[in-house]
A and B are shown apart, each in its own frame.
Chain A
Amino acid sequence: MLTRSRISWTALLLPLTAAIILVVAICSALYLREADQIEGNMLDREQRRMEIFAGLFAGDINSAVTDLRLLATGDALQAYLFSGQPADLDRATRRALFFSTENSDFDKIRYLDEKGQEIIRINRNGVVVPPDQLQSKANRPFFQKPEELPSGQIFISAFDLNVEHGAIEQPLKPTLRIAMPVFDANGRRRGVYVINELGTNIVERLQKFAPQYQQRLRLLNAQGYWLKGARPEEEWGFMLPGRSGMTLANTNPGLWARIVREPEGQAPEGGGYFTWCRVVPGEIVQGRPVTLVADDPFLVFASEISPAEWASSFARLRQTFVVVAALLLVLATVITWFFQARRRSQRDLDRFFTLTNDLFCIAGFDGYFKRINPAWEKTFGYTREELLAKPFEDFLHPDDLEKTRQEFARQNRGQGVVSFENRYRCKDGSYRWLLWNAHPQVEDQLVYASARDLTERKQIEEQVLKLNAELKQRADLLEVANQELESFSYSVSHDLRAPLRHIHGFVELLQKAPALQGDESSRRQMGIIAKAAKEMGRLIDDLLAFSRTGRAEMHPVQINMREMVDQIILDRALECQGRRVTWEIKPLSTVPGDPNLLRLVWTNLLDNALKYTRRREEAKIEIGEIRDDSGTGVREMVFYVRDNGVGFDLRYAAKLFGVFQRLHRAEDFEGTGIGLANVQRIIHRHGGRVWAEAQIDAGATFYFSLPLTAFQPTELHG
């Protein structure tokens, strides 16, 4: 599975560059090969074409020669030569006419007599020139030269422009003249027969071979002048004024030199390609009853592929290859990216495989580890070789052997396992617990597994169990202690009181005894005993109550504090008779708490307030509450009891809530000193706090807070 993490571009860069280079190299090589191929083909074709053109030209000449011979040696002319009769002339003319109409290449067909006078002249396309327009051509080379030729030799003039009346005929008429001497039956020279071949036709016919030859076809003569050039302005330089320099010899001497040297060939020329094939007119017809004598040593048939054309023929190929290269590059990039991603994810996996503290492994169905991560060595202390060398069974705890075998057999059948535990032996002989997840790949005969070292957890579990057992033991002991305390308290409450009661009771009885009625001092002493017994009783009661407040179960309910306080005050109404007591009771909320215990608290605080204000003319006792609005929501309620009694010295405030601690003398104010300790204990069990403020002789305020959230009642022992 490929990760979706970003592949770093640098990681991509190197293989990508390599890919690019490879693709470019291959494509270039292929391109060059193809280009070479195309080039080769093109050039081959050009070469062949030129040869064909040369051949065609030769064919044209040949056929013209044949026609000429027919006319020159034909019986029509011979008859006229013999008789000189106009009827024979007519016939000969008609024969010539026939050829003219048959061949539109024949610009002129003429018979000139031995003086060079035109006797027969047929102009192009069968136009017979009447006798009054016939001219003398005695001074023309096409008469003079063949005049001297022996029989069997035919003259081909140079390929040039026709001259009429001493001027170059316009429009330009490229012409090739083929002429042969005429002999009569007696072997006497009787003049020259001439055919003017129209060069344009020849050239046009060649051009029609393929559309590209419209532009490509070239014709040069032996001096390098263009007979058919790239542009008409370059042609016929040897005849037209101002063009004498327009030869290939001038423009491309190197190429011309080659052309002169080699009868055929190809050469790159100015970005394009030049293909040529020389034709030697004189050798067109060879080894037959006639030979040609040509003015032109040779003619060059050529194809000039312009640079643009040359380029464009590769353009298509180039385009194709560019597209192919682009596609390949894209492909290469994608493949590279995939490979990198793959490698990256592989690397990621490898890293995790190596890094993890969990134990990863691949095991064969044969019972051996095939591949393990370093965690194995770290955990167990063996080297990798040791672990791979033996079947993994060898490392198992003997007790786990059977169940592991069974589990493994299940794996071999194709079932995975989750949360299987067993023990493996470390190098040092100790065992560690492992928790396995495993999954088999049946086709590969392998099991892929991951294990976690449970040993710590097992140890912790053991510890926890042990601690729990200890805790239970302690709890049991505690329970026993509690029970003992219960019976102790019971004892105290019951058994201690009885003797006290007796002491008190009998002393009282004694006091009433008639015999002692006059004895003041004895009665006083007995009074002291009685009081002492009463005091002790009170102490015991208070102690018992104090102990009970620590042990009693708390039953939290919502308590209307106002009601509770009202009730207590009502109960004290009797006591307050004869005193001026002003109760100022502010509104009090309803809070959760144990009603019995909290009643004790209020009772204690109110009794104290009453007690310590006894000396006041008017006792003012204020009861109220303070909300704790500290912004985090109301979480506790603070209640207070404020009196205008004797107060106490704040320096000794720490003792206030101590057991049996008092800040006043017993003869001033009675009390055992346990009340406030009780209050503190109860409030603490509710999760609240107690504190007090006072000034000597200026009264005291006692505060206690109760949390408003559901509290967790705690048991305080002791």
Chain B
Amino acid sequence: MAKIKRILLAEDNPNDVELTLAALHECRLSNEVEVVRDGAEALDYIYQRETYAGRGDGLPCVILLDLKMPRVDGLEVLRQIKSDPDLRHIPVVMLTSSREEKDLIMSYDLGVNAFVVKPVDFEQFLKAIRALGMFWAIVNEPPPFKNKT
């Protein structure tokens, strides 16, 4: 049964957005991608407030988070999601340029599900995104959610 598996992508850099979408397009997953431009928007989307109030189409099956974003950054979003009992089951993947140890530690401390460093090489990037998308959106069995409408 093909339920709509939404991917939430939080990325502030338009180029990176375009590249990521291009990569997801290759995997035929681009239709189900919701893009938000920073952490605040990401939280708004998840909590269905502000601009996303009443969107009514459930929670994403995976959240792809960039670390460095204006207003609210990736770690903060991660913290909020993972400390909310209703939301903490959502798989979160850090998708970022940095391999700094402290970022890794912080992320895992907060309970991130995966940490992927964006390679410079596009081919590699493609592969990585494909793998991510395939896994989280298709292979992985998402946790059952109470639908918040």
Contacts and interface: CB of A to CB of B under 8 A. Distances in A.
Contacts of B67: 494
A494 B96 CA distance: 8
A501 B100 contact: no
A501 B16 contact: yes
Given A505-B15, A509-B22, A498 B97 contact: yes
Given A504-B121, A504-B125, 9 more contacts: A490-B100, A501-B19, A502-B13, A505-B15, A505-B125, A506-B15, A509-B22, A534-B120, A537-B121
Interface string A482-503: 0000000110011101101110
Interface in B91-141: 96-101, 118-123, 125
Given A502-B19, A509-B22, A497 B118 contact: yes
Contacts of B118: 497-498, 501
Interface in B53-112: 67-68, 96-101
A533 interface: yes
Nearest to B123: A508
Contacts of A536: 120
Interface string A346-371: 00000000000000000000000000
Given A508-B122, A509-B122, A501 B22 contact: no
Contacts of A544: 99
A490 B98 CA distance: 8
25 contacts: A490-B98, A490-B100, A493-B98, A493-B99, A495-B97, A497-B97, A497-B98, A497-B120, A498-B16, A498-B118, A501-B16, A501-B97, A501-B125, A502-B16, A504-B122, A506-B15, A506-B18, A509-B122, A530-B122, A534-B120, A534-B121, A537-B119, A538-B120, A544-B99, A552-B101
Interface pairs A-B: 10 shortest CB-CB: A537-B120, A508-B122, A502-B15, A505-B19, A497-B97, A494-B98, A505-B122, A500-B120, A494-B97, A504-B122
Contacts of A537: 119-121
A507 interface: yes
A554 to B, nearest CB: 14
B47 to A, nearest CB: 28
Contact of A493 (B22, B100, B123, B125): B100
A537 B121 CA distance: 8
Contacts of B100: 489-490, 493-494
Contacts of B98: 490, 493-494, 497
A530 B120 CA distance: 10
Given A493-B99, A501-B97, A533 B120 contact: yes
Interface string A513-541: 00000000000000000100110111000
Interface of B: 13, 15-16, 18-19, 22, 67-68, 96-101, 118-123, 125
Contacts of B123: 508
Contacts of B19: 501-502, 505-506, 509
A509 B100 CA distance: 28
A473 B97 CA distance: 36
Nearest to A509: B22
B87 to A, nearest CB: 27
Nearest to B97: A497
Nearest to A490: B100
A489 B19 CA distance: 25
A489 B100 CA distance: 9
A489 B96 CA distance: 15
Nearest to B66: A498
B68 A501 contact: no
A498 B13 contact: yes
Contacts of A493: 97-100
A148 B68 CA distance: 184
A482 to B, nearest CB: 14
Contacts of B13: 498, 502
Contacts of B96: 494
Contacts of A504: 120-122, 125
A342 B121 CA distance: 98
A506 B97 CA distance: 17
B11 to A, nearest CB: 10
A196 to B, nearest CB: 157
B145 to A, nearest CB: 33
**Which one of A493, A498, A505, A536 has the greatest number of beta carbons of chain B within 10 Å?**
A505
A489 B123 CA distance: 26
Contacts of B121: 504, 534, 537
Contacts of A506: 15, 18-19
A567 B118 CA distance: 26
Contacts of A509: 19, 22, 122
Contacts of B22: 505, 509
Interface string A550-586: 0010000000000000000000000000000000000
Nearest to A552: B101
Contacts of A538: 120
A597 to B, nearest CB: 13
**Which one of A489, A498, A544 has the greatest number of beta carbons of chain B within 10 Å?**
A498
A543 B114 CA distance: 25
A500 to B, nearest CB: 5
A500 B15 CA distance: 11
Contacts of B15: 498, 502, 505-506
Nearest to B15: A502
Contacts of A508: 122-123
Contacts of A500: 120
A534 B98 CA distance: 16
B64 to A, nearest CB: 15
A490 B15 CA distance: 21
A501 B99 contact: no
A288 B26 CA distance: 191
B27 to A, nearest CB: 15
**Which one of B68, B98, B125 has the greatest number of beta carbons of chain A within 10 Å?**
B98
Nearest to A502: B15
Contacts of A534: 120-121
A536 B118 CA distance: 15
A489 B16 CA distance: 21
Nearest to A497: B97
A361 B71 CA distance: 79
Contacts of A490: 98, 100
Nearest to A534: B121
**Which one of A489, A493, A495, A552 has the greatest number of beta carbons of chain B within 10 Å?**
A493
B41 to A, nearest CB: 20
A536 B121 CA distance: 11
Contacts of B97: 493-495, 497-498, 501
A572 B79 CA distance: 37
A536 B100 CA distance: 18
Contacts of B68: 494
A502 B17 CA distance: 10
Contacts of A552: 101
**Which one of B68, B96, B122 has the greatest number of beta carbons of chain A within 10 Å?**
B122
